[in-house]
Amino acid sequence: MTDTASASELQVWPGQPYPLGATFDGTGTNFAIFTESAERVELCLFDDDDVETRVELSEVDAFVWHAYLPSVQPGQRYGYRVHGPYEPERGLRHNPAKLLLDPYAKATSGTIEWGQPLHSYNFGDPLSRNDDDSAPHMVKGVVINPFFDWTGDRYPRTPYNETVIYEAHVKGLTQTHPDVPEALRGTYAGLAHPSIIAHLQKIGVTAIELMPVHQFVHDAVLLEKGLRNYWGYNTLSFFAPHAEYAGTGERGQQVQEFKAMVKALHAAGIEVILDVVYNHTAEGNHMGPTLSWRGIDNQAYYRLVEGDEQFYMDYTGTGNSLNVAHPHALQMIMDSLRYWVTEMHVDGFRFDLASTLAREFYDVDRLSTFFELVQQDPVISQVKLIAEPWDIGPGGYQVGNFPPQWTEWNGKYRDQVRDFWRGEPTALGEFASRLAGSADLYEHSGRRPVASINFVTAHDGFTLRDLVSYNEKHNEANGEDGNDGESHNRSYNYGVEGPTDDPEILAVRARQQRNFLATLLLSQGVPMILHGDELGRTQQGNNNTYAQDSELSWIDWSAIDQPLIEFTAAIAQLRHDHPTFRRKRFFTGTTVRTGNGERLNDIVWLRGDGTPMEDGDWDAAASEKTVGMYLNGHGIAGRGERGERIVDDHFLIYCSASDEERELTLPPSEYSEAWDVLIDTGAHEPHDGRVDAGTALRIAPRALLVLREHRPPVEQDFSVAASIAATNGLATGAIPTVAADASEPQD
């Protein structure tokens, strides 16, 4: 229902064209919206009874329509109706019958009710026009109170080389946690609960990377199947926190709760990184609904097919691609990023399908306008910027090709580490390169090892436990006949598909999880752990849970693998304590003194007999699936914060993916007179003393060894593995060692 009488009673002042969106200043609210192709724009206000009051915006500056309403306060629901030509074949899709969400809305209220009214065309005829009113079925924007007490908040600004990222889902991480009050589970407040923060701190997390929290839409096709869009890669607003993650239904409260979550995480020294989806929107292709951008200025916001503009360019597989070549589409993205940093205090962004943002024309151009703007922006350029460096378009796989200030999800690291540990014939030299920071990918552009975001698993694909439990995907619950999800997972089940009570299979699966976690946390670069991998989370073989908002996806906190948590915490502590594992610069191969007068390279790759590998040795080592790495703690390039030289212990790491036990000979005394075994994922008891140079050791099948140069007993550091030894009832002797039976998952 529309109340025209109320419209005439409202005070309407000219207002300002900037900032865009609805901005409450403590007295009233300024409204501003961009559209170049419109002929008229109406602001629509809704009261508690859904009575609509329309206010025509008569002020226009540089295609921004604006007004100031002194009576409008926080909590007011609103939308727009935009009048103009409806000519889909020319890319023009204005239809005032469709209520449109403000692209700059800071909060939303209500849910979408799918059906014909949300579409500007009649079903079955995409070039026709439908004039059913969509307002009763449409989400509304909400005017927010922008004020928040940030007293005491500070950005942690953790250096990249000290960063450990934890990819998490707001709901999936908290929904079943017994210590989180039931009313807070699945919410921003739940994620900020002390029990969640304590867990993150225990395993060494310095940054939590949240899967999409921009307001998103549950697709109609999923709701018809009884499913929901769980992951959230279907954005409806680039400024509003997703309302379903708020603990209360109060309008605009999601903004306050999100800010409180960030403040709590910052107080614990944990950064907040957002997974953002600026490559497409929830409006889909030419058959999709008209919810916002399409009805406001379709040509400005979307990439259309040249010469046939009823259709959309699709580099994402979701129906449309944002038109980053248009200045106002670019402005919206930049304004959104800046808003989340300055107003919401987030610390960085991970850009979904980031190659799409580089597509100004046809080819991917890493120096496109978007990246130039980011580099020049004094706010955005100072936060963490992480690219998912691929999309589905031609030339879209761009690992290693992003600008110098960017870091990248390193898909090559994932693939090589998976292949090595499952025993696949692989280029051992490339595996070694991944452990050493992937200089082959990043050094040419002046970047450093931290450009590589190392990961073995992520939300898209198997969990770590499923990676060692399934050969095939099991996506039946998704209702797509198993056609969805990646089929080549580089996984291995060790003889049984899925759950088993075979103790030998359970043992090797547990050992492989430890191998993956240790490899990840001790590689050069920035490690990223998928939430729940440290506690044995399973999705029962489903590698595409995008629509599984259920126990299948949520962490089951009643069935956690506590020893695996302790193992992860110990490895994270080892990384934290030793700059050897988080160098700021690539290895150079230059020689430095080791501390006993000898000169050795900063890194030496070792054969099983303890001698350095030569060029011809890599093929032989590959057949044995075993490689050793010496890290010279005196060869760490760079200086500390106060200009001091960084000096650390020397370390040996041996990785053996062989299915047979191997004999290793430790290198001669010029490397170190003796060594302490800190980690042995294949041992069942702690090692009980120093191991002299040149000593022969046995490494178990599919195992990883970490040795540190021997310290006198008074200098021994027991912090790394004491908790694991206690967990297993193992006596912590002179040399604390992470033992093999530290984690046996129960299938």
Q: What is the pLDDT of residue 719?
A: 46
Active site (annotated) includes residue 61: no
325, 418, 533, 713 from 174: Cα distances, Å: 39, 29, 15, 42
- Tell me which residue of 567, 629, 579 sits closest to 604, measured CA to CA: 629
Task: Indicate whether 283 pLDDT > 50.
Answer: yes
Arithmetic mean of pLDDT, 245-274: 96
| The pLDDT value given to residue 513 | 98
Selection from 348-362, 409-423, 721-735 with the highest mean pLDDT: 409-423
| Given the residues 388, 533, 649, 676, the one annotated as active site | 388
Residue 725 gets the label, from left (phi > 0), alpha (psi -120 to 50) or beta, of alpha
Q: pLDDT band for position 716 (50/70/90)?
A: low
Q: What pTM value is reported for the model?
A: 0.94
Token couple for 498: 């899925």
Position 17 confidence tier, pLDDT thresholds 50, 70, 90: very high
Q: Is it the case that residue 596 has pLDDT exceeding 80?
A: no
Residues 480-496: tens digit of each pLDDT: 999 999 999 999 999 99
How many Å apart are CA 559 and CA 440, to the nearest integer? 41
How does pLDDT run across 95-126, given as a tens digit for each residue?
999 999 999 999 999 999 999 999 999 999 99
List residues bridging with 125 in a β-sheet. 122
Q: What is the DSSP secondary-structure string of 294-327?
A: HHHHHHHHB-B-TT-TTSB--SSSSS--B-TTSH
Q: Where residue 747 falls among pLDDT bands split at 50, 70, 90?
A: very low
Query: Averaged over 335-354, what is the pLDDT?
Result: 96
Percent of the chain with pLDDT over 90: 81
Q: What is the pLDDT of residue 455?
A: 98
Q: Is 470 in contact with 541 (CB distance < 8 Å)? A: yes
Buried b (16+ CB within 10 A) or exposed e, 243-268: bbbbbeeebbbbbbbbbebbbbbbeb
Rounded to 5 degrees, φ, ψ at 717 are -105, 110
Note the CATH number of domain 591-709: 2.60.40.1180
Q: So what's the pLDDT on residue 691?
A: 95
pLDDT at 272 > cutoff 90: yes
Of 223-227, 232-236, 614-618, 721-725, which gets the smallest average pLDDT? 721-725
Angle (CA) 657 661 665, round 5°: 95
Is 352 catalytic? The answer is yes
> What whole-number distance in Å separates Cα of residue 65 and Cα of residue 77?
19
At 363 the pLDDT is: 59
Structure tokens at 316: 């994402």
The token pair at 19 is 């900032």
Q: What is the DSSP letter of 125?
A: B
Given the residues 167, 283, 347, 352, the one annotated as active site: 352
Instruction: Say whether 225 sits in a helix, a strand or coil.
Output: coil
Is pLDDT above 90 for 431? yes
Residue whose pair of structure tokens reads 């690992």 in the numeric block: 399
Residue 364 has pLDDT above 60, yes or no: no
553-589 pLDDT, tens digit per residue, is 999 999 999 999 999 999 999 999 999 999 999 999 8
For the stretch 282-287, contacts whose Cβ atoms lie closer than 8 Å and that sit 24 or more positions apart, written own/partner, are 282/216, 282/217, 282/219, 282/234, 282/235, 282/236, 283/319, 283/320, 284/318, 284/319, 284/320, 285/311, 285/312, 285/314, 285/319, 285/320, 286/88, 286/126, 286/310, 286/311, 286/312, 287/126
Is the pLDDT confidence value at 320 over 80? yes
Following DSSP, what letter does each residue of 64-104 receive, concatenated?
Answer: EEEEEETT--TT-EEEEEEE--EEGGGTEE--TTS-B--TT
